[in-house]
């Protein structure tokens, strides 16, 4: 990772950790799920208000490391007002970039590409994906079910 990429990565993570977007609770969410990362103690709850197949509104709450909070904050910005299929596609590309299956420069991630630096820290990939796991379970309408980043528990 170049110095410029590393600087952008650190700046984005710190900014979203300090001032997470869409943090809090929704009144009467239509879909929700919780996620935990047992390896580091991150906990995230995602609440959605759906209008047909559109994520009309989204909020998250919980505690986690800077990477977890920044990734979840950016995720909410990326999917709010978007169709479920767009959210699912973003999640697939984001996961593929973090696991090295897709080149960050070729992935249609928008601002999320700034988190591609997480791929340099394999132990932190689960932190970056936790909010996305919870989102996918909420979209699957698993009735608030808790999910884990541990093997076999992923959507």
Q: From first to last of its 155 residues, what are the pLDDT tens digits of the chain?
A: 566 566 666 787 788 888 999 999 999 999 999 999 988 899 999 999 999 999 999 999 999 999 999 999 999 999 999 999 999 999 999 999 999 999 998 889 988 888 988 888 898 999 999 999 999 999 997 555 555 655 444 44
Q: What angle do CA 151, 109, 90 make, to 5 degrees?
A: 50
- Domains of the chain, start order: 3-148 (3.90.1010.10)
- CB proximity list for 21: less than 8 A, separation 6 or greater: 73, 74, 76, 77
CB atoms inside a 10 Å sphere around CB 134: 30
Burial of 18 (0-12, 13-18, 19+ CB in 10 A): exposed
Specify burial of residue 19 (Cβ count, 10 A radius: 0-12, 13-18, 19+). exposed
């Amino acid at each position: 990772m170049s110095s410029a990429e590393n600087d952008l990565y650190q700046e984005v993570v710190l900014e979203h950790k300090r001032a997470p977007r869409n943090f809090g609770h929704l009144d009467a969410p239509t879909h929700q799920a919780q996620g935990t990362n047992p390896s580091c103690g991150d906990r995230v709850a995602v609440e959605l208000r759906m209008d047909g197949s559109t994520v009309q509104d989204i909020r998250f709450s919980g505690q986690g490391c800077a990477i977890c909070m920044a990734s979840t904050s950016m995720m909410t910005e990326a999917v709010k007002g978007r169709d479920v299929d767009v959210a699912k596609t973003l999640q697939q590309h984001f996961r593929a970039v973090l696991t090295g299956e897709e080149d960050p420069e070729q992935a249609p991630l928008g601002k999320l590409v700034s988190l591609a630096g997480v791929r340099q820290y394999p132990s932190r990939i689960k932190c970056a994906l936790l909010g996305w796991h919870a989102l996918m379970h909420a979209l699957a309408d698993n009735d608030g079910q808790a999910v884990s980043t541990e093997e076999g528990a992923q959507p």
